[in-house]
Structure 1
Amino acid sequence: MAARGIPMNNALVIVTETSIIFAALGLSAYASLRRSDVLPLLYLGLSAGLAIAMSIVAELAFIEGIRNVLIITGFTMLGARADEKAMRLAFTLCAAITLVVLLIEVASTEAYASLFRPADYLAKTRGYAIKEFYEDTGLALGTIVYEGRFSFGLFDGPRTSSIFLEQVNINIFAIVLMIYLTSMWDRLSWPERALMLITIFMIVVTNNARMSAIMAPIFILGYFVFPRLPRYANALIPIVLLGITFIVFEFERVRYGDDLIGRIATTYRALTRLSASDLLFGNHDLIARSGDTGYGFVMVSTSIFGALAYWAYLTLIVRPDDVIRRRTIWAMSTYIYIWLLIGGTGSFSMKTAPLLWFLVGYVRVTDFGGKDASARLTRSGRNWRTLTPA
């Protein structure tokens, strides 16, 4: 719309995003509340209370944290009201749209930039100056492929963005598709599997996406391993990751940079600089500067209590009662906790988070009939079986 001359600014984006969030909540309420909504509503209520208390103490509104919780809980509840056909159709359409736009971008960067004008849109909605972007191509600054930057060597153009217009969220989208495949592989048709795999492959090699490339073998192995892991042991992932991080940097020199070690070092530095007040009451001034450190962002935007509530929600939202649920909860937890260690706010993005939580909401209330049945049902994909949510 912006590229076609429609006036665009950050306020319009905020209004649109808010409308989508409350549409999800409204649709859920319209379908009537149910027992499965208790945990999401408890998490939302606790987060709202924390946001109000932190805002009173700081005399500033803590919006970011509650916004993220609204996305998580709203689409968890919406997914709980979807049947399998709706859920699969949502992922199929999103993957197809992303792949089509990506193919246009790969075939002709000039045509893609002319069609969507990413730099112009991001400048108007995020306040970035045009000079921060490719002035000659109109692409985002992050699409630049500089010397020494990780690359598969299969694509020599700018890092791709597709419908997302910037390079980070298309990377996350590939990971969300991997989680979907890890969870639902046995229930998908071969055309669906092929679409997801082709889309993931194209994103990874044209975006030179490090995190999705790292996560792919983890999920392939996890498809077989996740169902065998102890129940609720996914709660230990952040404890192990942060414990190892603090131990390593306690003895090694902290090195910053745009690589895996440098990103982890950024999180380490942010966490070690938090004061007791930051942990207990958050820090509004640090929110905007914590975009490259996920754990730091959660702490300063929701306090230590909000971080613990998020950890509890991720642990309890899906009961690990069958194969599909275990694969889903472990894949989701692995992605989120690792991303919070090396990235920032990307896992809360409106561009990708709703799709992930829509899947989680569907999986948590659906009876897949046990381990054997989940592997048998709809293996051919010709029958879009509708399952009634609990």
Structure 2
Amino acid sequence: MTAGIMSAGRIQVRGGGLQAGKYLVLAGAVFNLALCFVSTRHWLHIGNAQIAMVEIAIMAAGFYLIRHQVDRNALWIMAVTFGFLVGAKLVNPALSFKIVHDVGIMYIFFVLGRMTTERVAWSTIWILTALVLAVGMVELIFTDMYASLFNIWDYYVQKGVISSDTVNYSNTNLFLSGNRGAGAGRTFFQSIFGPHRVSSLFLEPDSLGNFSAVLFAWCLSVSRNQPGRRCVLLYGLAVLCFILADSRFASGCCMLMLLMRISPFCRVPLVAFLCPVIVATGLTVLGSLHELPGVLPAIIKDDLSGRLIFSGRLLDYWNIGQWFGLAPSQVYTSDTGYAYVLNNLGAILTLFYLGVFAFHRSRTPESAIMKTMISVYFATSLCIGASVFTIKTAALLWFLYGVTEVMGPARQSVRPVRAARPAARAVLPQVAGAAV
């Protein structure tokens, strides 16, 4: 969470910077669908390396656009972070430098958001929502055709997310969690949708749930009881998205964000800081109440309670080395976000980044609210996984947070920078010569 390392000075927007962020957010959301189509058509073998190259290209383009906005504080924080990771890697070979990629997405798209306008943000939201619902409806109504165009199962096998020997109980080309298992049933409208969980252009239902939570957080932050500012339609579409995905996490997260929004603490920086800390502490206590001496933590029951207990047991099982990123975790951390962050970034740097994010001075009321909504979103999502870091939805989240920093009067501190006209540049030497 690196939002705070930007200074409060003026932001200069060069050339097409106002629109460029929108296109990169859209690219981050749709490129997996495009690559899956290419893979399904057998036009090109798509593996983890090819996917990573596309992500890096998107981030590189974003970094190029914000290169003039990177200040000295940001450079120092980058240097300290990289130095710690290199040193920790020497004693913890399992440490993953992917955490740099995750933090980079936050910073790059936050700054891109600060370089644009609310109008561009709304344009991004409506375009992306239209794409999500259009693809989602095709998947829901024409499931077999969708699966023939996008073999998601094979795509994730090639990506390395699904093991090649994993049994496909659903007997479809959808993602592993694309259908509720036998006896589990959907939470929302089982009789209408059956066991199918819609993934849309994100290819996995969890990301569609995250997308709905991001939309809901934006609505809570910018909506007002004024004509044209109530965001009623977007609220409804956000709810529709988590219903289609049958995302229990997203529905619960949206409810918690709503409760936080109507509380008197929705703009308090300390609350934004404490939310993840309190939840992580509570998880650890939960794990201590379900200890199994001599048994490695594992997901015993693949539901919400089982995931929470697993996350808590893993944190409780760790020694001090794992907490500070100086020793490898005894168990994989991809299914529990808190463990993933702590074991790769270390407790000290994690708290530092959280503090920078939480106590960064909000320039608008919308920004202060959005900050707290993000804190609730991360605090809850990290209990059951690390999907909040995927560029598919993280790019949109941090882009919108950046936009809230420059809404209303704060927009006046953003000034466009236009290149001098060729004719004007040609006149300058003549003027200088005349002066001599």
**Corresponding residue SS for 1:140:** coil
Paired position in structure 2 for 1:327: 369
Is contact 1:174-1:203 (8 Å) kept?
yes
Once the two structures are TM-superposed, the CA of residue 98 in structure 1 deviates from its matched residue by 0.7
Partner in structure 2 of residue 336 of structure 1: 378
Structure 2 CA distance for aligned equivalents of residues 212 and 338 of structure 1: 9
Instruction: Determine if contact 1:283/1:301 at 8 Å carries over to the other structure.
Output: no
When structure 1 is superposed on structure 2, of 152-161 and 296-305 the one drifting more is: 152-161
Q: Which residue of 2 aligns with 1:373?
A: none
Whether 1:10 and 2:48 are equivalent positions in the alignment is yes
Give the distance between the partners of 2:124 and 2:268, measured in 1 at CA.
31
Q: Does 1:87 align with 2:128?
A: no
| Amino acid aligned to 1:139 | L
Structure 2 counterpart of 1:277, from 321, 327, 337: 321
Distance of 1:249 and 1:131 partners within structure 2:
28
What are the superposed Cα offsets for residues 94-139 of structure 1, whole Å, 9 maximum, x if unpaired? 1111111001111111121122221122122226327544674211
**Is the Cα contact below 8 Å between 2:177 and 2:204 reproduced in 1?**
yes
Match of 1:138 among 132, 150, 173: 173
Distance in 2 (CA, whole Å) between partners of 1:308 and 1:135 is 41
C-alpha change, 1:161 and 1:59, in structure 2 (3 Å) is: closer
The DSSP-based 3-state class of the residue aligned with 2:184 is coil
Is the Cα contact below 8 Å between 2:212 and 2:241 reproduced in 1? yes
Q: Secondary structure at the match of 2:392?
A: coil
Alignment of 1:368 with 2:405, yes or no, is: no
Quote the residue 2:391 is aligned against.
350
Match of 1:261 among 296, 305, 328: 305
Aligned equivalents of 2:111, 2:122: Cα separation in 1? 17
Query: 1:114 matched to which residue of 2?
Result: 148
Q: Once the 2 structures are TM-superposed, how far is the Cα of residue 281 of structure 1 from its aligned partner?
A: 3.6
**TM-aligned CA deviation for residue 186 of structure 1:** 3.5
Deviation readout 1:31-86 (Å, 9 max, x if unpaired): x226xx56654443332222221223345673121111111111122212112222
The answer as to whether partners of 1:54 and 1:62 remain within 8 angstroms in 2 is no
User: In the alignment, which residue of structure 2 is the partner of 1:389?
Assistant: 414
Distance 1:130 1:19, change over 3 A: farther
Per-residue deviation, residues 233-274 of structure 1 (Å, max 9, x unmatched): 221112322333344554567895233322221111111122
Count of residues paired in the alignment: 367
1:292 aligns with 2:335: yes
Change (3 A) 1:219 1:85: same
Question: Does residue 310 of structure 1 match 2:353?
Answer: yes
- TM-score in terms of structure 2 length: 0.75
Q: Which amino acid aligns with 2:315?
A: L
Listed as ranges, the gaps of 5+ residues in structure 1 are: 371-385
Instruction: Spell out, residue by residue over 1:277-314, the C-alpha distance to the aligned partner (whole angstroms, 9 max, x if none).
Output: 22334445668x10111111111111222322332233
CA contact (8 A) 1:184 1:324 kept: yes
> How many angstroms apart in 2 are the aligned matches of 1:117 and 1:190?
41
> TM-score normalized by structure 1?
0.83
Aligned residue identity for 2:359:
L
The question of whether the paired residues in 2 share the 8 Å contact of 1:78 and 1:358 is answered with: yes
Question: Within 5 Å, which residues of 2 pair with 1:210-229?
Answer: 210-225=248-263, 229=267
Query: What corresponds to 2:206 in structure 1?
Result: 168
Distance 1:280 1:204, change over 3 A: closer
Partner of 2:112: 78
- 3-state DSSP of counterpart to 2:43: coil
Partner of 1:100: 134
Is 1:301 the counterpart of 2:344 in the alignment? yes
Contact preservation (8 Å) 1:362, 1:389: no
Partners of 1:40 and 1:174 lie apart in 2 by: 31
Q: Describe the shift of the 1:113–1:196 C-alpha distance in structure 2 as closer, same or farther (beyond 3 A).
A: farther
- The separation in 2 between residues aligned to 1:76 and 1:70, in whole angstroms, is 10
Which residue identity does 1:359 align to in structure 2? L
Are 2:103 and 1:62 aligned?
no
Deviation at 1:149, TM superposition (A): 4.6
Is 1:205 matched with 2:255?
A: no
Q: Tell me the percent identity.
A: 22
**Residues 237, 42 of structure 1: alpha-carbon distance in 2 compared, 3 angstrom cutoff:** farther
- Alpha-carbon deviations, 1:185-224, whole Å to 9, x = none? 2399869946533432332222211011112222333333
Contact kept, 8 Å, 1:43 with 1:313, in 2: the verdict is: no
Provide the rounded CA distance (Å) in 2 between the counterparts of 1:3 and 1:68: 28
Q: Name whichever of 38-47 and 7-16 sits farther off.
A: 38-47
| CA distance in structure 2 between the partners assigned to 1:191 and 1:99 by the alignment | 22
Cα distance in 2 for partners of 1:189, 1:131 equals 52
CA RMSD of aligned residues (A): 3.0
Q: Which amino acid aligns with 1:344?
A: G
CA separation in 2, counterparts of 1:209 and 1:351? 16
Q: Compared with structure 1, are the counterparts of its residues 160 and 64 closer, same or farther at alpha carbon in structure 2 (3 Å cutoff)? A: same
Q: Are the structure 2 counterparts of residues 282 and 88 from structure 1 closer, same or farther at C-alpha, using a change threshold of 3 Å?
A: farther
CA contact (8 A) 1:22 1:74 kept: no
Specify the code of the residue in structure 1 equivalent to 2:376. T
Which amino acid in structure 1 is aligned with residue 41 of structure 2? R
1: CA distance, partners of 2:194 / 2:96:
42
Partner SS, residue 66 of structure 2: helix
Helix, strand or coil for the counterpart of 1:2?
A: helix
